[in-house]
Structure 1
Amino acid sequence: MNRNRIRVAACCLTATVVLSSSSFVSNAAPTAGAGNFVSTALATETTNDNSTETSASANAGVSQTFSQYLTQKPTATTVESAIQVVQNETPVVKSEYDDIAIAQVDNYVNVRSTASEDGEVVGKLYNNSAATVLATEGDWYQIHSGNVEGYIKAEFLVVGDAELSKSVGTRVAKVNTQTLNVRKEATTEAGILGQVPNGEELTVVEEIDGWTKVSIEEGDGWVSNEFVETSTHYTTAESKEEEEARLKKEEEERQAAAEAARRASEKSGSSSGNSSSGSSRTYNPPSGGSGQAVADYACQFIGNPYVYGGTSLTNGADCSGFVMSVYAAFGIGLPHSSSGMRSVGYEVSQDAMQPGDIVCYSGHVGIYVGNGTIVNASTEATGIKYTNAYYRNIITVRRIF
């Protein structure tokens, strides 16, 4: 039997008995559904002479002392004694991480349809990805992860490790208001550090009553919980169908990028430099269709202003507006959202970054230009500039060309 399931049963029974004393409010939540469980067990003992087998299954996880009372015909004395025993024992509290399994493998482990190496492969769980343990069958775990349910050998998973789960999970706050003010302190009276548009997902740094500290380009600031929805994100398993669809999508995007590059190259052959509005600066049109061409084109706009919500490379753009407009010059349509750009193209590792790759951070995005550097529309104070690519935690790197 799964050890974690045993702990749940013990907790429920303990909490139910405590309810019979004066601790109703503090114990109401953890005992949902437990009251009927215990009352059913006692009723069985009273009315059914052949109830031994039923009681044994109902008592899974209960201390031996207390289970003895559940397998005897109850009297006022025995029930009172049972209550006293349970009240003197330390309740076992189930952690939210008890049934979370984290894959610890070189690359990925196969999820199979049965608890056997002969079982059909129904998906893959990649290293540091998470699953929920449903049951144990021999030296296999039955798991659920994403859209995949199946079996993985226990040796490839670490279960119930809170610290590991926290380290591979990402706590995020999703903006649910049109424009979110990120403040310097956890109060509406504090100055505004920066602004974030609706739908953005920000990395959570800290949580206190009513407020959440998040990471944005201007630094770490506070947002009211009224305007965000917080959750923990884990990387989950990929089904065979999802893997096939992903590979097909990536190939289609490579072909589309190649065609866009061809068109951009033809266009650059017949175009000349253009002038920015209200400025004497001139800019070369996009030339070629590679990541390096994207990086070269983007770097021309260093020094131009940052404008929240803007998309103009010359008169002002915000971080995602800048990346969107650079790629638009090469015939590639991207969303005007830094979190939306986390799923465009296909992912590459940080140590494989090439010029033109899109580097995504919490509430920010830039274009990699090589030598550990990005070009990005940073803040109103700095405008479009070069920044060390590793100045903050990188969430993902996406490649278009």
Structure 2
Amino acid sequence: MGKLKFAPYVFGLAAAVVFGTNPIGVHAAPVTTTKFDVSFGDLDIQGKIIYTATEEVASPFYKKGISTAEDCVMIRKEPSVDSEAVGKLYFGAGFEVLEETGEWIHIQSGSCEGYVSAEYVVTGKKAEEVAKNTDAVNSYAKIITDGVEIKAEASDDAAVIATAGNEEILEVLAVIPESDWTKVNKDGVEGYVKNQTVEVGVAYDSAVSMEEEAQREAEAARQQTTDTDAQHTTETEQTEAAEEQTETQEEQAEAQEELTETREEQTEAQEEPTEAQEEETQEVEEPSLYIEEVSETVWATDPVNVRGAADAFADRVGGLGKGESIMRTGICENGWSRVDYNGTTAYIHSDYLTTTEPAEEEPVYNEPSSNSGLGQQIVDYARQFLGNPYVYGGTSLTNGTDCSGFVQSIYANFGYSLPRTCTTQSVCGRGVSVDELQPGDLVIYSSYGEIQHIAIYSGNGNTIHASNWDTGIIETSLSYSGDIYCCRRIVD
């Protein structure tokens, strides 16, 4: 077992980390000791493990993390993309780290335990930095004693600017591991409290299991039915009120003998087209959709949306890239195909499917005859920022940006106003195939049919993009970022 060496007065606090709870409690207290060697086992007290107060341990996100996926990342039963999905971790949702194993992280979030790809989450100090730029995650401090003084500065001699009582919750602005103080905010007043007077935690949304997701969808369907019934009731009440008003008008018309006959004729003239419309409506009934049952593998001829019903206006539930295969379970008479999409019944328009497996072809990259084109100018400009940092949610080409922020800022320099996310950028301009790519074109990547990344094609089979925290802005091969969802040309 590893050893920790303690020197007299070398540090001023220790962080007591309680595992298995959400949020995690971090309780800091002053420490003085003589120099001796002590093992982790020596420090195991009532199920708590005391660690040296490094910045990582002092962080509210120690052994914690949050999702940075644009929509969500799947939680797998085993560390493999082919493993069964047990839940979804939406953007900003948090988790407890059970074990980190390179490309996969073993986590616990809500009722879900499993593995997530490390590419779509951040942990520890990185999670703390991301949390500062989102409202989905908050740090808090719970007062654990009465009459706690809030100081103007991190000093015993500083002026008292406010007080807080037991169980009161304050916003955490910073945990200062090298001192005995935590910076907090109480009702707009910023100050410092002693570490031993508070427990610091993190509040965030948990993962959603596949069963909970199905329950949410069912509840949404029930709510939609309830809303429809309520609307029908309202329309019925309005109709009845209108009929009562008509009856009142008829009674008044009877009192006016000269106008009665004229009003009755007008009423009959208004009712006749209404009755004709009602009869026509009753005659026109929407026939049920006939589906021929099949079981066969088909391939996408182009990038295509997967929808929840056999209708172009139905909700999009995912997508297939060109050449990707899927199991077709039925052929609809209206030109759609019923498919098994990740274990769920969904629909794809049959015009985008073929039963012939496409042959793999080596892409041929068409390069422009001259480097003076606007597309090449965009690439040359983008190369100036190689090596600059990646920051999730950022748009600064020098101080930090994410993939879609990089594309947006590069094109803005040439007078193009692109939307903010890679999903919305994926429909800008016009579509081109991989073998038609030219410098300056956009390459959009997906994971399991969902758009996750975007890059700028730089020529010779390469792209420039803001990749991740570790690499920043880099130039790599076209296949570096995974499956290509589609390609778009902004500059013609």
TM-score, normalised to structure 2's length?
Answer: 0.29
Larger Rg: 2
The structure with the largest helix share of the pair is: 1
